[in-house]
Amino acid sequence: MLYRKMPKNGDELSILGFGCMRLPVKEDGSIDEERATKQVRYAIDHGVNYVDTAWPYHGGQSELFLGRALADGYRRKVKLATKLPTWLLKSRKDMDHFMNAQLERLNTDHIDYYLVHALLGELWDNVETLGIADFLDGAKADGRITNAGFSFHGAGKDFNRIVDAYDWDFCQIQYNFLDEKNQAGTDGLEYAASKGLGVVIMEPLRGGNLTSPVPPAVKDIWDEATTKRTPAEWALRWVWNHPEVTVILSGMNEETHIEENLTVADNAYPNSLTKAELQLVKKVERKYRELMKVGCTGCRYCMPCPSGVNIPFCFEDYNNLYMSGDAEGAKFHYAVRLSGVLSVGEPEFASRCVQCGECLEKCPQHIDIPTILESVVEELEGPDLEKRVAMAKQVFKKT
Ligand code: SF4
Ligand code: SF4
């Protein structure tokens, strides 16, 4: 296992962290606790020292599970990360309420890395008004947390202002070779690192889209490589190749994935991919973009839509539907993200489009936005949308 230094405090963190959002589950959907505990402890025994969870994961069960899985001396072997559920906050007092409940759930007296969860620009404005800076300062001072950070899912334009708005120790961003220009992107990664923040990466495999199933045309390109690697290894190595990256979180729920990731983390040094290898990844990226249904780059020039449609998110989920082949997963993701469950805002579904055409001339990719939104409605909404939204609320509004 390789380790990289957290810039502000010098912590040596394993470059592979264990993410507890997608733990193995039983037939009834509950966490397979025996198997998951073995997996977490196996990873720790093999060098992983950063474990990440959050309030809503597994309907609130992930933190409770981890509290038990890290017994028997495992808690002191790791830096523990969890997140404040920003979308549930109504007051400054709520922040203490959630953190204190999390300490109890996790069976610990402190959280090493505490994140303000899933920030978007407007969500940040809300928590800032509610007094997040005072809350984090207080929690650090009284020892309930050691480091303060935030995780980000918003538009690139909001990332830098959030980085600059507080004396953060670290941040967590989505990053992979298809998201260089999406959300925080490469610019955000470099900006955060330039400000001395450690950067934890989530979704290095884009929620599994870069690994299963790999379209034949993409497989053909990977097969051209002189050094043979699996698509997962290529994707992870590409992220670790960036010296600004501190830790990659991987939601590993198969023993074989854990083995593979641990092996790659033994020698994934920064700047270790050759020029030819980087060109190969670029070629794969181009192929994926050809295969995508919509050539949306996530630039957001079309936003805001006067009817409240989140155009780039609609298109991202629509592309994921075609890249992953996992219709149920893509539909649930769409329901969670566009329903407003995770934000203080209104629903942003494609079905809110009134075909006014205002966005058309703003798109540098010349995408026929209103027409494609009709297909999004057809394929990602349908009669079950309300049921999925209700399910998402059940999962994410749990207190
Ligand atoms: S055409 Fe639809 S998506 Fe575009 S601005 Fe009008 S309502 Fe919004
Ligand atoms: S302007 Fe075009 S490319 Fe940019 S986010 Fe909107 S639809 Fe996507």
Cβ 367 under 6 angstroms from ligand 1 = no
Q: Whose CA is nearest to atom 8 of ligand 2?
A: 296
The pick from 309, 310, 363 for probing ligand 2's pocket by mutation, whose C-beta has the most ligand atoms within 8 angstroms, reads 363
Per-residue pLDDT of the chain (399 residues; tens, 9 = 90+): 999 999 999 999 999 999 999 899 998 889 999 999 999 999 999 999 999 999 999 989 999 999 999 999 999 999 999 999 998 999 999 999 999 999 999 999 999 999 999 898 888 999 999 999 999 999 999 999 999 999 998 888 899 999 999 999 999 999 999 999 888 999 999 999 999 999 999 999 987 778 867 888 999 999 999 999 999 999 999 999 999 999 999 878 899 999 999 999 999 999 999 999 999 999 999 999 888 889 887 778 798 999 999 999 999 999 988 887 778 888 999 999 899 887 767 899 999 999 999 999 888 778 999 999 999 999 999 889 999 999 888 877 644
Q: Give, using CA atoms, the residue closest to atom 7 of ligand 2.
A: 296
Environment class of 146 (CB within 10 Å of its CB; exposed 0-12, middle 13-18, buried 19+):
middle
Q: Which residues line ligand 2 (CB under 6 A)?
A: 296-302, 311-312, 315, 362-363, 365, 367, 369
Q: What share of the chain is helix, strand, coil (3-state, %, to 5)?
A: 45, 15, 40
**160 close to ligand 1 (CB < 6 Angstrom):** no
Say which residue the tokens 């839509």 belong to: 305
Q: What is the pLDDT of residues 268-278, one digit of tens each?
A: 999 999 999 99
Tell me which of 289, 299, 317 to substitute to probe ligand 2's pocket, judged by most ligand atoms within 8 Å of the beta carbon. 299
Q: What is the CA radius of gyration of the chain?
A: 20
pLDDT at position 329: 86
The pTM score is 0.86
Residue 378 Cα, ligand 2 centroid: separation in angstroms?
20
Nearest CA to 265 among 298, 232, 297, 289?
A: 232
**Which residues does residue 173 pair with via DSSP β-bridges, in sequence order?**
152, 201
pLDDT score at 366:
85
What distance in Å separates the CA atoms of residue 70 and residue 74, rounded to the nearest whole number?
Answer: 5
Q: What is the pLDDT of residues 255-295, one digit of tens each?
A: 999 999 999 999 999 999 999 999 999 999 999 988 888 98
CA 384 and chain centroid, separation = 25
pLDDT at 257: 94
Question: Could you tell me the distance, in angstroms and rounded to a whole number, from the CA of residue 377 to the centre of ligand 1?
Answer: 13
Residue 375 Cα, ligand 1 centroid: separation in angstroms? Answer: 14
